Structure 1
Amino acid sequence: MTKGKLSRRQVLRGLGGVAVALPFLPSLLDSKAAEAATMGQPRRFLALRSEHGGVLGSNMYPADATLTDGVNYAGYTVRRGDLAVDGSGALSPVLTASALTPGLAAKMNVLRGLDLGFYIAHHRGGSLGNYGDSTDNERELKPTCDQLLAWSPKFYSDLSTILMRSMVIGDGGMSWNHTNPQDVNSPIEKLHAENSSKELFKQIYNDPGPQQEKRKPIIDRVMEDYKRLRNSNRRLSALDKQRLDDHIARLDEIDRRLNVQVSCNDITPPTKGSLELLQGGLYRDIVKHTEFWQLLNDVVVAALSCDTSRVVTLCIGDLWDSGASGWFSDTTLEWHQEVAHKSHQPDRQALMVAAQQGIFEHVFLDLAAKLDAVQDVNGTLLDSCLMFWTQESGSYTHDPIELPVVTAGGAGGWLKTGNYADYRNSAVTAHDGNGDPSSEKTHAGLLYNQWLGTAMQAMGLSPADYESIPGGGYGLQFWATETWYAGYKKYTQEVIDSAGDPLPFLKA
């Protein structure tokens, strides 16, 4: 199907001057063309994660009175209710934003009661299934689920428009993959993350201009030399052979990207860059924090609108002052030790709630609303997405018990939305609250592996495509050996056996 040039009226203009051309609108096509356009529509995956956690349940989640329905699952009752926004745009103190409308809430889910079965302490990759990335004990590393999607031929069945298999944004360390993604025996390392909205734009868009003849692949010009060096040089070590193979694989991917023909036109590059905000200081400046992430969000929307990428991760990590200050906070207190690690003290909890509310409103919901404003073949761009936000820890920092998950988008119709789902087992106490300034109690629930497996199924994969352990969800399973850990021996065999299933209430 040939797409005509878009008019100037069919664009969205973002904060930094970037103009995003809208996709073609099927309602303007004849019936046969419209039917063809809706077949095989792509799904998109976006994951956001913020540091520490430490938000009390009463501040993070909707009220328990919301939970009106329950079913027996894994040996106990799990509950759900409909998300309902109050008159001030709030689902909870953290989940509050002026732009949070009932319509957007109907496209969201809030999930409570998702745990890891072991003490992970500080980590980054654990939010996407690489549980070996931890400041606690050394454990086996695995690729994160975003990278599994990025290199899956089932997810990317057609790469003809894709300039970036995945966009890794923010503080480094959230996304991990093999040094050669097509060789499962190659080492696993964390990926470079981009913080410059201008540089990111250059990677997700090239001016289509006149159609040019396909370039001769670089790899074809060096293949004979590569084979001779790889196979004939006895001095070449096994490690150097791996490095050489990795380099050739990277050249092959560069060749593929050089020959991508972008069909989306009328895109104006951003006039302001996120890193320009560092000039004059970014720390403790909430206005600059907001602009920083919204400039990056604009580029994400451009990439998904033009279909030059379908996988995005945003790690809202420590600021570049070693965690002394926090995103969306102007406090002069040292953030890591004096706020996050003391977050159950009432005054520090107020600071943490305000910061996480800022992340929800100015990063997560800003991006969701922008995606929802772009019309796609079957609804809006957001409707094709599974977008979620989680935090490093649950309500107790370092502890992955009751990890919060907030989603937006229906994954192309796979996912039910509008739910507050509570997967906690009220009969199994994890933290009893004794000695804690807030007396916060937590309860064991279902495994976070099950959530990531659900997300992979929503993206069109089958369990055989991603499971390391049959029926185990995404990622390896580890179990606490420390008797002091609140999750020690709190997960029944029924819970473990359920990890390969879609989470209750979510499958459409």
Structure 2
Amino acid sequence: MLDLSRRNILRGILRGSAITVALPFLDLFLDGSGEALAAGAPIPTRFGTWFWGCGVNAKRFFPDATGTDFTFKDETHALTPFKAKTTIFSGFNVILDGQPNLTHWSGIMGALGGTTPSKGGNGIGTAVAPTLDCLIADHVSAGTRFKSLQMACTGQSSVSYSMRAGNTVNPSDVDPVTVYKRLFGPDFQDPNSGKFTPDTKLMVEQSVLSSVKDGRENLMRKVGAADRARLDEYFTSIREVEQQLAVQLQPPAPAEACRVPKMPAALEPGTTWEAATQMHDQLTDLLVMALACNQTRVFHVALSAAVSNLRRAGQSVALHELTHEEPIDDKLGYQIQATYFLERSMEVFASLLGKLDAVKEGNGTLLDHSLILALSESNLAKLHTLESLPMVVAGSAGGKWRAGQHVSGKGDTTSRVGLTLQQVMGLPVGSWGTGPNATSKSISEVIV
């Protein structure tokens, strides 16, 4: 085999002067299976969470048969083209065990945090642990510019279900133009351009941050416990900034699928279904290329808030109100207007899967090298039920996740799903969750 890598250059002489030409990304830089760079670095696995508000109609969402021989129902029909790459979970519950049901919030924290919040402020409970995206980002995001990305589609940065701790969410990006400039603006280094020039301003900033870090141990000895906790959080954030700067001072690794997108047109945010889905389309176009260009490996997208304020153009009543006030049709057995949003939500999720599946990586696609957990905060929003919380996982984590099946939890905690996702993503954890939602039992059916 030729001793070549993406770092090789062609050297020569032109009119008496030395010249160098960097090599483009070539197939020979992949191993024989197409699953890793020839130098040994594997194609990275990405992780994401995707949220829609106000639940489902269980009989129209969950398949009747378990295993691989299942058929999508009306509310998941849009996922049919991706049957071999999706896993539907049913019968996994957020177990309250005496804790209050903080409506439109307990379900989220049960599934994404492995816990049920015991108190709330402004309808938000206090989280005792980071959500899945944060835990996984801590493990897989070394070498990327952004530890994770959060996006929301209704123009409200507070709509986010990504949390470190306490009751403060990681704010969402809501403007495609701003997101584009952040991802692909002047600080972006094209991994396939063959050119790299470190920013001297970043070198200075890194030096300044390093000097701040030098005296922290002495300072920590002089302050009280409360200030030590605040300083620890502060220095942790500085370390993360330093790590981001260090990434930008190194030539980026090659990214076969990376294509720099065009700047999107400005959009007016809104809570109509039409405005939110158009925003989702633009934001996820950028997200897909951010993943392909290795700008990040972890993301969280919220199509709507849990208390969904989405409404159809020309109508004043939003989805959340419909789930409580619209009568159930006697013949159909469900709320017709509310169900419109639930069916369309899966169409929007399917559109994201289509974008990921269209990006070739090695012998698979970006979707194949991802795990994406889509979920809502309740089963039946009218009653805020937390039994059989709707969860769908797309992708196969580069062959480490066995997709294409419907798995029933038979009343077990949703934490089993979260634990399994962490283990497949490579986290060295044997248990996860708190109280009645604690588990050490992963889901063997999906682990390869």
Q: Same fold (TM over 0.5)?
A: yes
Q: Which one of the candidate residues 402, 415, 433 is aligned to 1:475?
A: 433
- Contact 1:94–1:354 at 8 Å: present in 2 too? no
Over residues 243-288 of structure 1, what are the superposed CA-to-partner deviations in whole Å (9 max), with x where a residue is unaligned?
A: 2332232222212212324455752452324xx322xxx233x332
Partner of 2:388: 402
Partner of 2:17: none
Partner of 1:340: 323
Alpha-carbon distance between aligned partners in 2 of 1:128 and 1:411, rounded to the nearest angstrom: 19
Over residues 123-160 of structure 1, what are the superposed CA-to-partner deviations in whole Å (9 max), with x where a residue is unaligned?
A: 143331253446589666211111111112xx34xx23
Q: Which one of the candidate residues 413, 417, 423 is aligned to 2:399?
A: 413
Partner of 1:16: none
Partner of 1:257: 244
- Contact 1:329–1:354 at 8 Å: present in 2 too? no
Alpha-carbon distance between aligned partners in 2 of 1:227 and 1:463, rounded to the nearest angstrom: 30
Partner of 2:418: 452
Paired residue secondary structure (1:446) = coil
TM score, norm. by length of structure 2: 0.77
1:190 paired with 2:169, answer yes
Paired residue secondary structure (2:310) = coil
Over residues 299-353 of structure 1, what are the superposed CA-to-partner deviations in whole Å (9 max), with x where a residue is unaligned?
A: 210111011211111123339xx85x326676422432x3122467239722222
Partner of 1:46: 48
Paired residue secondary structure (1:371) = helix
Q: Which one of the candidate residues 332, 345, 362 is aligned to 1:359?
A: 345
Partner of 1:57: 58
- Contact 1:52–1:392 at 8 Å: present in 2 too? yes
Alpha-carbon distance between aligned partners in 1 of 2:8 and 2:176, rounded to the nearest angstrom: 28
Paired AA for residue 180 in structure 2: F
Q: Which one of the candidate residues 225, 235, 244 is aligned to 1:238?
A: 225
Alpha-carbon distance between aligned partners in 1 of 2:318 and 2:124, rounded to the nearest angstrom: 26
- Which residues of structure 2 form unaligned runs of 5+? 10-23, 153-157, 190-194
How far residue 25 of structure 1 moved from its aligned partner, in angstroms, is 6.5
Over residues 334-392 of structure 1, what are the superposed CA-to-partner deviations in whole Å (9 max), with x where a residue is unaligned?
A: 432x3122467239722222112222112x11111111111112411111111121111
Q: Which one of the candidate residues 139, 146, 149 is aligned to 1:167?
A: 149
Paired residue secondary structure (1:45) = strand
1:371 paired with 2:337, answer no
Alpha-carbon distance between aligned partners in 2 of 1:128 and 1:302, rounded to the nearest angstrom: 25
Alpha-carbon distance between aligned partners in 2 of 1:30 and 1:248, rounded to the nearest angstrom: 40
Paired AA for residue 398 in structure 1: H
Partner of 1:96: 77
Identity of aligned residues (%): 24
How far residue 94 of structure 1 moved from its aligned partner, in angstroms, is 1.3
Paired AA for residue 315 in structure 1: A
- Contact 2:400–2:424 at 8 Å: present in 1 too? yes
Q: Which one of the candidate residues 427, 438, 444 is aligned to 1:461?
A: 427
Aligned residues: 394
Paired AA for residue 277 in structure 1: E
1:25-424 correspondence runs (5 A)? 26=27, 36=38, 39-53=41-55, 55-62=56-63, 64=64, 67=65, 79-84=66-71, 91-97=72-78, 100=79, 102=81, 104-118=82-96, 119-123=101-105, 124-129=108-113, 131-133=115-117, 135=120, 141-152=128-139, 155-156=140-141, 159-160=142-143, 162-170=144-152, 171-178=158-165, 189-205=168-184, 206-208=187-189, 210-212=196-198, 215=203, 216-224=206-214, 226=216, 229-232=219-222, 236-260=223-247, 261-263=251-253, 267-273=260-266, 276-278=267-269, 282-284=270-272, 286-318=273-305, 323=308, 325-326=309-310, 331-336=315-320, 338-342=321-325, 345-346=328-329, 349-362=335-348, 364-396=349-381, 397-424=383-410
Alpha-carbon distance between aligned partners in 2 of 1:477 and 1:328, rounded to the nearest angstrom: 40
Alpha-carbon distance between aligned partners in 1 of 2:447 and 2:395, rounded to the nearest angstrom: 13
Q: RMSD of the TM alignment (CA)? A: 3.3
Alpha-carbon distance between aligned partners in 1 of 2:313 and 2:440, rounded to the nearest angstrom: 39
Partner of 1:502: 442
1:317–1:268: structure 2 CA closer, same or farther, 3 Å change rule?
closer
Paired residue secondary structure (2:59) = helix
Alpha-carbon distance between aligned partners in 2 of 1:61 and 1:175, rounded to the nearest angstrom: 26
Alpha-carbon distance between aligned partners in 1 of 2:48 and 2:337, rounded to the nearest angstrom: 27
Paired AA for residue 413 in structure 2: L
1:221–1:507: structure 2 CA closer, same or farther, 3 Å change rule?
closer
Q: Which one of the candidate residues 2, 6, 25 is aligned to 2:6?
A: 2
Over residues 83-120 of structure 1, what are the superposed CA-to-partner deviations in whole Å (9 max), with x where a residue is unaligned?
A: 45xxxxxx2221133xx554x22111222111011145
